[in-house]
Amino acid sequence: KQEVTQIPAALSVPEGENLVLNCSFTDSAIYNLQWFRQDPGKGLTSLLLIQSSQREQTSGRLNASLDKSSGRSTLYIAASQPGDSATYLCALTSGTYKYIFGTGTRLKVLA
């Protein structure tokens, strides 16, 4: 059974710092992996999707990587800003939209 773990559960950094969020999974047979952002009490915003054949994806200050052999994905945020404060969730599927979500990393960027 696939298990998705995100460490740390919470992270507080000063503005301007580069940071890495981690997502680990137990079964490497995945179809794709998505990173989402969730603001308190709100829905999810899709940030990046990495298909199983890809190694990384970039969007602006965000870069997500995928290493299936080690069961890891990382989300790199460059030059963090207070507006980046949110919970970041990774989710993956082995196909047919059966996504399994991690428990998230709650990020706070201090001004």
Partner 1 sequence: SAVISQKPSRDICQRGTSLTIQCQVDSQVTMMFWYRQQPGQSLTLIATANQGSEATYESGFVIDKFPISRPNLTFSTLTVSNLSPEDSSIYLCSAGGGQDEKLFFGSGTQLSVL
Told to check if 98 binds partner 1 by CB under 8 A, we report yes
Paired strand residues for 73: 23, 66
**Shortest distance in whole angstroms from residue 62 CB to partner 1:** 16
Told to check if 8 binds partner 1 by CB under 8 A, we report no
Told to check if 97 binds partner 1 by CB under 8 A, we report yes
- Residue 37 tokens, joined: 């952002």
Helix, strand and coil in the chain, % to nearest 5: 5, 60, 40
Is the separation of the CB atoms in 89 and 26 below 8 Å? no
Among 32, 56, 63, 72, binds partner 1 (CB under 8 A): 32
Site string for partner 1, 42-81 (x = CB under 8 A): xxxxx--x-x------------------------------
DSSP code, position 80: -
DSSP code, position 9: S
Contact residues for partner 1, defined by CB under 8 A: 31-32, 34, 36, 41-46, 49, 51, 89, 91, 93, 95-99, 101-104
